Structures are given as C-alpha cells and as structure tokens.
Amino acid sequence: MNILLKSAIIIDQTQKDLHLKKRDIWIKNGKIAKIASKIEAESSTKVIQLENLHVSIGWFDSSVSFGEPGFEDRETIENGLLTASKSGFTQIVLNPNVQPVPDSNSDIVFLKNASKDAATELYPLGTMTMKAEGNDLAELYDMKNAGAVGFYDFKSPVDNGNLLKIALQYTQNFKGLVYSFPMDKKIAGKGIVNEGEVSTKLGLKGIPSLAEELQIIRDLFILEYAGGRLHIPTISTSNSVKLIADAKKKGLNVTCSVAIHNLFFTDSCLEEFDSLFKVLPPLRTEKDTKALMKGLKDGTIDFVTSDHTPLNIEEKRVEFDNAEYGSLGLESSFGVMNKLFGTETAIELLSKGREVYGLDIPELKEGEKANLTIFNPEKKFTPAEENLSSTSKNSMYLGKSLKGIVYGTINNGKAVLN
C-alpha cells in the first residue's frame, strides 16, 4: 500500500515542529516513509487530496459493542470494524456484550481471529466471572494470555465485594485490569432514568446519583485494601469525579472513562419519551455534564468512549420502560467532541487510553507504522439513518447538528475511506 496524503494539516501536540503545519505524507508499505512540504508521487502511489485535509494519529475507543457471536442481527465483527474505521478509530476495545459471553481462552481466540484482517484492531475484554453471572471468577489468566486486555461483566455491577477483592488480588500476578460497573443495584432499584426533576415530571422511575457513588466508594475502599488495577467505566455524576480525584491523590491505581453522550446530552432530552436516549448510566443533569467535562480537562477522567451499543429496531421501538439500554456512538464521536472541545483537544481526548491496556501509542513520524486518521474539522453534518454504516440504527445523535467529518483511516497496511 503506497499512499500520498497531499497538503494535510497535522494535529499532533507532541511534535511542536509539525503540529498545525501543512505537509505531504508519503506512506510506503504501511509505514510513514517521508513527511515534507512537497513530495512528488510515484506512479504506483495513490494520491489522497481532500478539502481541508487534516491528519492525526489513529483514534482509540475503550468501550465498543458489536453483536457477534449471538446477536449478529445487531452487528457483525466485520461490519462493526468497518464502521469503526470509517469513524476514525484504528483500535477499539470490544465489550463482552455477546452470547455466549467470552469467559475462556477459546472465546478470546475466536474474537481475535475474526478480526485479524481488518484495518481497525480489536482488543477483546473477557468477562470477570463465569457466564458473567457474578458468582465465580472466569479463566482470567488464560484469557489474558489469549489476548484479553481486561475483565468486565458488561454493565453488570459486581455485587459481591469479596469477589472484587479476590479478582484484584489475583490479577496482580499478571498485571490484569479489573472493571467494576458503577451502580449499586439495590439503590438503583427499578429505576431507568436519572432521578430528579425530569423523572418526577415524566413519571419515570429514577436511578439516583447515589447508586453510582456508593458503588464507587465501596470499590475504592476495596482497591485500597487489595491493591491491583481497577477501571471504572462510564461514570456520570459530579460526585463520582470528586471521588476518583481523591483516590488518585491517595495514589490508588484507578482509571475511569466517560461516555461521550453523557457530555453532550442531559436528562431534559427525555421529555419526548424517545427510547434512543435510554442509556446506562442514564443521562444526568447539566451540573453533572459540566463536572464531567472539567474532569476530562484536568485528567481526573482518563479518557472518553463512544460506548457504542448497536440494538435492533425491536429492542428500541417499544415503550420506554421496555426498551433496551444503549446507543450507537462511533460515527458521531468526532463531530460531538470537536463541537464541545475544539479540534486540538478533541483529537487529544480521542487518542487517549491505550496505555491503560498496555498498547503502544502510535507516532506520526518517519519510519513508524502508519496508524492515522484523516478528517475535516470544519465541515458540519447532521447524522441520518441512511448515512450510518452500522447495521443497527439506534443513534441518539440523529438529527443533531455536529461539526467535523471523518474521511477515513490508514492502519495495518490498509486504507478505509468514506
């Protein structure tokens, strides 16, 4: 694969000599062969010259669900990875949101093999417990050796604190990463949206912020006692940010993420009873949104995620109470982040997180493997169903005005362009 990117503006704050400079970038046999003000294309080279072309290192998403195996009608691995490539992501962490769940060595091997020829690299999570039932630890060490980058019973809280303690202690032997979803199920009860003015007005059962924060407090105490590495995915409240900031000051080895939709939307969106906005954790208040954005900027929150969750029409177009939780997110991530934070900060945030999973951080330098995303940060667009690459169409961003489009990605010796 020989490609020449013409007149591309480089976004890379780690390289002051190239950041915001317009350069030609020659990619030969999957590597960056040359970066210069002007490069003449060889006859065998594909030239990419696009309006307001920008380039950065490839983006990373730590929470993506597809459907295969078990829910291929939602999304296959092949089309899911193609969607990720078209959305600017060259590496993703795959949630164990399938059936059967990946709780053994062979399950992880299957996921790795099913994705090996794609431009976007897939790093699977195994479940923390057998069948994700919360009773007995799964084959954590074997799954780690097979390529699992962490252990997570998807969106299921670890009710048994002793089991979390044992998992944190056991995984220290091989530097495993243990997830704990932040929700106390007994406090959450039958709630389905944020508990507050909007839920009261609409007559919907609420999930109080307390449900998230109590679980985080418990988990942090267990982490302090047991040691190990703990990741708390998709926090959603202002107090959660404070709790994790305090834990980091104490030196605890904890990381956390936030879903992009919890930065962009609040629970006021629920007034139409549109199940596209039913997500877990739920959309919270403007106060929470502001605290989450501040936590991202000061480093308390380690990275953002699309929390991409494809669901078919039968799972979403039902009464709000009965609808499944989740929204598409990959294809709108850049447009939202660019609108919220501006291009330079958006790219920085969309590129963060790899080090938590032990992955190498790509470099936009001569001689390095080409792991790149190309985009136009100024062009506005409005997502519509017919423009989605995902098999499922359950996007809460439909009809919303966003800023910035992705042209595609270059990775693993392949170029995927929209």
Tokens of 34: 């040359």
What is the tens place of the pLDDT at every residue in 266-285? 999 999 999 999 999 999 99
Amino acid at 58: G
Shortest CA distance to 279 belongs to which of 320, 245, 314, 241?
Answer: 320
- pLDDT at residue 43 is higher than 90: no
How much is the average pLDDT of 163-172?
98
pLDDT digit string, tens, across residues 387-401: 999 999 999 999 999
Q: DSSP alpha helices (H): ranges in 61-160?
A: 77-86, 105-114, 140-146
Whether 85 has a pLDDT exceeding 90, the answer reads yes
Is 73 one of the catalytic residues? no
- Mean pLDDT (whole number) for 97-124: 97
Q: On the CB side of 177, how many CA atoms lie within 13 Å of its CA?
A: 22
The packing angle between helices 105-114 and 77-86, to 10°, is 60
For residue 408, which of 372, 361, 364 has the smallest C-alpha distance?
A: 372
pLDDT over threshold 90, residue 194: yes
Give 203's pLDDT tier (boundaries 50, 70, 90). very high
Distance CA 8, CA 27 (A): 13
- Tokens representing 279 are 């997500």
Phi, psi of 270 (to 5 degrees): -80, -5
Q: For the chain, how are helix, strand and coil distributed in percent, rounded to 5?
A: 35, 20, 45
pLDDT of residue 366: 97
- pLDDT class of 167 with cuts at 50, 70, 90: very high
pLDDT in the model for residue 328? 98
Over residues 336-391, the pLDDT tens digits come to 999 999 999 999 999 999 999 999 999 999 999 999 999 999 999 999 999 999 99
Non-local CB neighbours of 56 within 8 Å, separated by 6+ positions: 10, 11, 12, 347, 351, 364, 372, 373, 375
Comparing C-alpha atoms, which of 67, 111, 10 is closest to residue 326? 67
> pLDDT tens digits for 297-319?
999 999 999 999 999 999 999 99
Phi, psi of 56 (to 5 degrees): -145, 175
Q: Which residue has the tokens 């999930």?
A: 207
Q: Which of the residues 184, 219, 307, 360 is marked catalytic?
A: 307
Q: What is the pLDDT of residue 105?
A: 97
* Start-to-end Cα distance in the chain: 18
Q: What is the pTM of this model?
A: 0.97
pLDDT for the residue 417:
97
Axis crossing angle, helix 209-226 with helix 238-249, rounded to the nearest 10:
10
Residue 139 has pLDDT above 90, yes or no: yes
Mean pLDDT taken over the chain: 97
Contact by Cβ (8 Å): 171, 378: no
**pLDDT score recorded for residue 75:** 98
Residue 410: per-residue pLDDT? 98
Domains of the chain: 2-55+365-379+401-417 (2.30.40.10), 58-357 (3.20.20.140)
Name 71's Cβ contacts closer than 8 Å, sequence gap at least 6. Answer: 98, 99
What's the pLDDT at 1? Answer: 78
Q: Which residues contact 279 (CB under 8 A, 6 or more apart)?
A: 259, 261, 262, 307, 309, 325, 326, 327, 396
Query: Would you say residue 44 has pLDDT above 90?
Result: no
| Number of other CB atoms surrounding residue 319 within 10 Å | 8
Q: Tell me the mean pLDDT in the region 22-46.
A: 95
Residue-wise pLDDT for 247-261, tens only, equals: 999 999 999 999 999
